[in-house]
Amino acid sequence: MSKTLLVFRREFAGYFATPLATVFLVVFLAVSAGMTFFVANFFDRGQADMNAFFLWHPWLYLVLMPAIGMRLWAEERRSGTIELLMTLPVRPWQLVVGKWLAAWAFAGLALALSAPLWITVNYLGSPDNGVILACYIGSWLMAGSFLAISACVSALTKNQVLAFIGAVVAGFVFVMAGFDLVLAAVRPWAPDIVVQAIASMSFIGHFQRITDGVLEVPALVFFISLIVFALWLNVQALDARKAA
């Protein structure tokens, strides 16, 4: 575990060694605020809640999380430092988990910086803070899922642009899975169990139930299981490279 924490500290500090951290945090806060106040008409809704803020998170994460995750392994492969990492007395799973935790913590920092909006909502009215807390937890888990997918894709290429595009495409599949447009295309040829399985993979569907105020077990199990599975695939990709 100590080796995982060492990797975590190295990676997390790396975000602030370049302007990447500042640019990402500014973009996330600016875009999410713009969506909340101007697109979702926060003040015109007449409700003291943060639904307008969380509404756009699946779509924001679809682009912003791959922007964080694309460098996790692609940069290591491009610079050749991955060969050095493979020779260190650190297991592949410790590298994978440490890198992912650093990215997830950075995403959590971005979410934490939106706290002034939470304070504003409480100043304007009496929101259900339990629901808001559940939304923050659900949003962070969803961000972790996007990052795990992005890290897995990043391990397959040394080109960060390809890693970004691949992660966006993979994330888009999970975002769109529950839409009627997708399910209508599957129903004519697939049995009901397949249709239901595809619908159950929807990020928006699970996150929507959380934003409704229900931090239900199926949604938590879905996001956690997806994270674990994507990180396992990430480890397999590293093991295959190490063996080659």
pLDDT band at 167 (very low <50, low <70, confident <90, very high): very high
pLDDT band at 85 (very low <50, low <70, confident <90, very high): confident
pLDDT band at 43 (very low <50, low <70, confident <90, very high): low
The model carries a pTM of: 0.90
Average pLDDT along the chain: 85
205-228 exposure pattern, b = at least 16 Cβ within 10 A, e = fewer: bbbbbbbeeebeeebeebbeebbe
Q: What is the mean pLDDT of residues 123-143?
A: 89
Domain that holds residue 20: 2-243
CB 147 within 8 A of CB 68: yes
pLDDT band at 223 (very low <50, low <70, confident <90, very high): very high
pLDDT at 148: 95
pLDDT per position as a tens digit, 176-219 = 887 777 777 777 777 888 778 888 888 988 898 888 777 778 88
Q: Which residues contact 45 (CB under 8 A, 6 or more apart)?
A: 52
- Number of separate domains in the chain: 1
67 pLDDT above the threshold of 80: yes
